């Protein structure tokens, strides 16, 4: 019965050929596809380097831990971030032994509000905060001019969670290329879909090298691609000590196993061939849905349309005193085969995992709390047809009239 999913994945000839080529190559762990994907993604985002990892969550944990390892941050560093996001942003901060501190959001484009960030910074003690980690939610870019300026003025680092914004342009520059790092997720509902895959973009070579080691348990091996299978190891060849050195099993820093596989990288590469079409089709669907649902703009806040956005989905917010609840609208849509998702929730006050923060934040993040309780999204992906859009409009008419 499911008719319109939040994200769809159609396995075409290109994807099938990419997977078969990996099988035929005999190499499943990281190899040429991963390397090519890293180069293509860096080129697309406009950074010098990109590093592929096994998920967007790993990308965030690794980048934060590497920032710590490099001495950019310290243990227990306070990171200002957004309360309205997929929970991985906060989980990564906590996993890296740092503390999230929340500023409120803009209720129209869901991004962290620079005025709220400024207030935190102005009321802080010297050196209290170490970094800012904004999220480009649903593809909308944060206000990078103001955030960059604030970070400079208060001498804190700027990072970016661009997991939901694959190619969004802000004043001609792609999100994920403004901060020390940009983290991406290629989870199945995202614009480039690889199942489970993540990436970190950066211009900082030393930082990139640390992340490359740390994603492989901190191993000493750091060649761009391992040449051992061809019978030659560059590091071994260059080593003239007496110790029986094997760079794969010598570790010069702490690390994780966040390596990925050839399959998701091959899928991502296949999709990158049509990325501009994917982004254009999603934008067209947002425009068409806005037209089809404009009659309900008294009840629903429709998504703001902007040309340069890579839309993750079609976000809707139920307006105050509309007489409708999110539970009712979502249930009725799902009954009719239209998949929905809540707009994540305000992490410190609405997510059970962070209930210990509730007292501290309740009532202090009014926009995030409102959207967290009244926002939801449906799909706008490239496989949604004009007939699907007519069907969605008809369902909303039945539910809201
Ligand atoms: C904003 C944000 N950050 C991080 C992540 C984590 O990515 P992953 O699910 O690939 O671990 C996601 C996933 O959708 C996300 O939306």
Q: Please, is 28 exposed, middle or buried when counting C-beta atoms within 10 Å of its C-beta (0-12, 13-18, 19+)? A: exposed
Phi, psi of 342 (to 5 degrees): -70, 155
pLDDT in single tens digits along all 401 residues of the chain: 678 999 998 889 999 999 999 999 999 999 999 999 999 999 999 999 999 999 999 999 999 999 999 999 988 999 999 999 999 999 999 999 999 999 999 999 999 999 999 999 999 999 999 999 999 999 999 999 999 999 999 999 999 999 999 999 999 999 999 999 999 999 988 999 999 999 999 999 999 999 999 999 998 887 776 776 677 777 778 777 777 777 778 888 999 999 999 999 999 999 999 999 999 999 999 999 999 999 999 999 999 999 999 999 999 999 999 999 999 999 999 999 999 999 999 999 999 999 999 999 999 999 999 999 999 999 999 999 999 999 999 999 999 98
**Tokens read off for 288:** 């068409």
Q: Is 6 in the pocket of ligand 1 (CB under 6 A)?
A: no
186 CA distance to ligand 1 centroid (A)?
8
378 CA distance to ligand 1 centroid (A)?
17
Identify the helix (H) or strand (E) that includes residue 318: strand 314-318
- DSSP 8-class letter at 243: S
Q: Is 54 in the pocket of ligand 1 (CB under 6 A)?
A: no
CA atoms within 13 A on the CB side of 101: 18
The closest alpha carbon to 241, from 227, 220, 255, 212, belongs to 220
**Within 10 A of 101 (CB to CB), how many other CB atoms are there?**
21
Report the chain's C-alpha Rg in angstroms.
Answer: 22
Please identify which residue in the block is written with the tokens 């942003």: 89
pTM: 0.96
Taking the C-alpha atoms of residue 200 and residue 41, their distance in angstroms, rounded to an integer, is 9
**Taking a C-beta distance cutoff of 8 angstroms, is the pair 291, 302 a contact?**
no
Q: Is 56 in the pocket of ligand 1 (CB under 6 A)?
A: yes
**Structural domains in the chain, sorted by start:** 13-272 (3.40.640.10), 275-400 (3.90.1150.10)
- DSSP 8-class letter at 353: G
Q: Is 85 in the pocket of ligand 1 (CB under 6 A)?
A: yes
**Tokens read off for 222:** 């750091």
Q: Which atom of ligand 1 is nearest to the CA of 186?
A: 10
Q: Is 258 in the pocket of ligand 1 (CB under 6 A)?
A: no
Taking the C-alpha atoms of residue 190 and residue 381, their distance in angstroms, rounded to an integer, is 9
**Tokens read off for 173:** 């520059």
Q: Is 141 in the pocket of ligand 1 (CB under 6 A)?
A: no
């Amino acid at each position: 019965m499911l008719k319109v999913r939040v994200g769809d994945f159609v396995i075409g000839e290109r994807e099938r050929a990419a997977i078969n080529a990996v099988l035929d190559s005999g190499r499943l762990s990281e190899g040429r596809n991963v390397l090519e994907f890293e180069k293509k993604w860096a080129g697309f985002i406009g950074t010098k380097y990109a590093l592929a990892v096994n998920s967007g969550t790993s990308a965030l944990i690794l980048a934060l831990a590497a920032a710590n390892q490099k001495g950019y941050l310290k243990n227990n560093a306070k990171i200002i971030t957004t309360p309205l996001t997929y929970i991985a942003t906060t989980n990564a901060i906590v996993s890296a032994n740092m503390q999230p501190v929340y500023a409120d959001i803009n209720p129209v484009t869901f991004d962290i509000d620079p005025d709220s960030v400024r207030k935190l910074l102005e009321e802080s003690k010297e050196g209290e905060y170490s970094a800012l980690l904004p999220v480009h939610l649903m593809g909308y870019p944060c206000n990078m001019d103001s955030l960059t300026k604030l970070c400079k003025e208060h001498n804190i680092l700027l990072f970016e969670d661009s997991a939901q914004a694959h190619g969004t342009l802000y004043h001609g520059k792609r999100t994920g290329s403004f901060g020390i790092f940009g983290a991406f997720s290629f989870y199945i509902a995202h614009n480039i879909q690889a199942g489970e895959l993540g990436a970190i973009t950066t211009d900082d070579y030393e930082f990139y090298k640390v992340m490359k080691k740390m994603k492989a348990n901190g191993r000493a091996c750091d060649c761009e691609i391992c040449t051992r299978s061809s019978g030659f190891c560059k590091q071994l060849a260059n080593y003239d000590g007496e110790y029986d050195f094997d760079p794969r099993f010598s570790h010069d820093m702490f690390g994780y196993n966040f390596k990925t596989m050839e399959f998701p990288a091959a899928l991502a590469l296949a999709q990158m061939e049509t990325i501009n079409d994917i982004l254009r089709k999603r934008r067209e669907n947002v425009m068409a849905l806005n037209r089809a649902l404009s009659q309900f703009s008294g009840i629903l806040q429709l998504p703001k349309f902007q040309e340069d956005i890579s839309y993750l989905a079609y976000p809707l917010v139920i307006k105050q005193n509309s007489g409708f609840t999110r539970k009712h609208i979502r249930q009725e849509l799902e009954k009719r085969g239209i998949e929905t998702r809540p707009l994540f929730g305000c992490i410190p006050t609405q997510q059970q995992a962070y209930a210990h923060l509730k007292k501290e934040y309740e009532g202090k993040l009014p926009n995030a709390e409102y959207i967290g309780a009244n926002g939801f999204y449906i799909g706008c992906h490239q496989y949604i047809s004009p007939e699907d859009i007519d069907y969605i409009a008809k369902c909303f008419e039945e539910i809201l009239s």
